[in-house]
């Protein structure tokens, strides 16, 4: 995507994609950080337009899924 003039909307669109990309990177980094809270993940996901739904399941010892 190239920009020719500010009036054709390409620069604005390119800027929006750039900002979305930065938010997605931040969300991905937060998902890899063990200290990130669920609330923080939810807020970062919403900033990217993602509806984050989490489900928790208890792990039991001796369980065999195979």
Helix (H) or strand (E) holding 45: helix 38-47
| Spatial distance between the Cα atoms of 63 and 66, rounded to a whole number of angstroms | 9
The domain total for the chain is 1
pLDDT along the chain (66 residues), means of 10: 59 88 97 96 96 90 65
Residue 52, in any domain of the structure: no
- How many CB atoms within 10 Å of residue 24? 16
- For residue 58, being part of any structural domain is answered with no
Name residue, tokens 């994609």.
Answer: 17
pLDDT at site 53 = 92
Q: How many CB atoms lie within 10 A of CB 65?
A: 3
Measured from the Cβ of residue 20, the count of other Cβ atoms closer than 10 Å reads 13
Whole-structure pTM over 0.75, yes or no? Answer: no
């Amino acid at each position: 995507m190239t920009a020719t003039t500010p009036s054709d909307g390409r620069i604005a669109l390119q800027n929006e994609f750039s900002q979305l990309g930065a938010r997605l990177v931040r969300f991905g980094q937060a998902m890899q950080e063990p200290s990130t809270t669920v609330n923080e993940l939810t807020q970062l996901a919403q900033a990217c337009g993602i509806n984050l739904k989490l489900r928790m399941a208890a792990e039991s010892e001796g369980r065999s899924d195979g």
